[in-house]
Every structure is written in structure tokens, then in C-alpha cells.
Amino acid sequence: MKILAVDTSSRNCSVSIVEVDENKNINIIAQDNNDDERTHSVKLMPMIDKMFKKSNLSLDNIDLLACCLGPGSFTGIRIGIATMKAFADAKNIPTVGVTSLESLAYNINENSTICPIIDCKNNNVYSAIFKLNDNTYSQIGENIADTIDEALEICKLHGKDSIIFIGDGSVLHKKMILEKFENMDVKFSDKNLQSSLSLARCAYDKYLKGEYGDSNNISPLYLRMSQAERTMLGK
């Protein structure tokens, strides 16, 4: 199975083509990244075209489309989803949606409680709690869109022994995290960029569980209002 994975939800625009072999190993065919959020709308299609040419593949060779749904950049999310919907409709390719929090969690490969934290400014964050046990990832509770203080309080309820923090929010709020979890085994991952490779891994797991569909299967996950909406409402 060949998977085209796209993540445009953050500053880093990440695109990968991977192949899953008969032993369920995921092998990279091609990968490209662009670390400039302002150019996702301009760079995404050329990046995909470049990878197809480099790998001597085309959309006809793709068996599954994996797309990041957010939360993250409102504009970036829409760019990625619109592109993947168009591909799905044009070639009748199944799609899988993956959240940016799930994708970050899949950057971790050791059994632990995992807490991805994405900064969304003014001490607000997106977060979630995951458990990894024997190569099985499971989310505990709902996605969180709250202040960093409230998000960490929720995290403390689930991280009993050891916990790994990941994401740009964990870097920004490292001091607070260490203070709140001073009596626990706390680790900070250095794999804080969202990646289309981890997104592809998560998408394949979801595919095996039957969590896929047509282009209507993928839609934005915002969790909070945009800055323009908050300004209009005086929030």
C-alpha cells in the first residue's frame, strides 16, 4: 500500500509518500518539508509534484490519502484538506484524517504517557493525553483547548508515573511543566515538529481499524474560534 500524507496545519508544511510492506513496515519513498507557513498555498502542489517525479509515481499509484485535520493554523488546515479532497474525488482514493495531536504522539516510540502540547498564543494551548503500550496508541479523554495551566492539570490526572511532553508548547512552557510535575518522571522530546511521516503511521493504523472514507471523511478540526471571530465577538 502506498500512502500520500500531507500536513499543512503548522509552520512546517510536510509531505510524504510511504509504502507499507507485507510485514506492515512503513518505508519512505519520498519526503519534503517547507518551513514557511506563509507559502503553504503556493508550495504544497509543487512539493507533491516534485515527489511524484522523484519517485516515478503519480496519483494513480496512491492507495490512501492521509491528511492532518488540525488543530493548528486555520488557513493551513483548509489548504491541505481542500487539496486532498480534490485528489480523493478525482481518483476515488480513500482518505484518513489525523489530528495534529495524534501525529505528534506518533513521534514517540517508547511505552509511556504522552502529552503533546501545541502553542496557540496568549498562554493558550491545544493538548491531549495518549498512552503507548506495546506499539498501540490510545487517546485518553477528549482533545483540550484551554490555558496551559488547565491543560497541565488535566494531564496530571492521567500521568501517574512517567510522562513525555512533545510539541512547541512543551518547549515554550517547560519551566511550568517542571514545576507542576516535580515529583514525577518527566521527559521532553526533541521531535517537536509535526511530520507527515508520523501522520502516515497513524493513518495506516486507523485504516486497519476501518476508520477511512471518501472525501467527506476529512474536515477541519479547529477546537477554538479564529482570531478574527474572537475579535468580532470581543473575546
pLDDT in tens, 4-16: 999 999 988 999 9
- In tens, the pLDDT along 19-68 reads 999 888 999 999 999 887 678 889 999 999 999 999 999 999 999 999 99
Which strand (E) or helix (H) includes residue 70? Answer: strand 64-70
pLDDT at 67: 98
Question: What average pLDDT does range 155-165 have in this prediction?
Answer: 85
Is the confidence at residue 233, as pLDDT, over 70? no
Q: What residue spans define the domains of the chain?
A: 2-100+194-232, 109-188
The pLDDT assigned to 183 comes to 86
CA distance 194 to 166: 10
The tens digit of pLDDT for each residue in 80-101 reads 999 999 999 999 999 999 999 9
**Residue 213: DSSP 8-state:** B
Q: What is the homologous superfamily of the domain 2-100+194-232 according to CATH?
A: ATPase, nucleotide binding domain (3.30.420.40)
Q: Which of 3.30.530.20, 3.20.20.140, 2.40.10.340, 3.30.420.40 is the CATH number of 109-188? A: 3.30.420.40
Average pLDDT over residues 61-77: 96
In angstroms, what CA-CA distances link 5 with 19, 23, 30, 129, 132?
11, 20, 11, 23, 22
Neighbour-count burial for 206-215, b at 16+ CB within 10 Å, e otherwise: bbeeeebeeb
Average pLDDT, the chain: 92
User: DSSP assignment, residue 217?
Assistant: G
Using one digit for the tens of pLDDT, what is the confidence trace for 172-231? 999 999 999 988 899 999 999 889 999 999 999 999 999 999 999 999 999 975 544 444
Q: If you compute the radius of gyration of the chain from its CA atoms, what whole number of angstroms results?
A: 18
Same fold, 2-100+194-232 and 109-188: yes
Which pLDDT band, with edges at 50, 70 and 90, does 72 fall under? very high
Residue 91: the pLDDT is: 98
Reported as a pLDDT band with limits 50, 70 and 90, residue 232 is very low
Rounded to two decimals, the pTM is 0.93
Answer for the pair 108, 49: CB distance below 8 angstroms, yes or no.
Answer: no
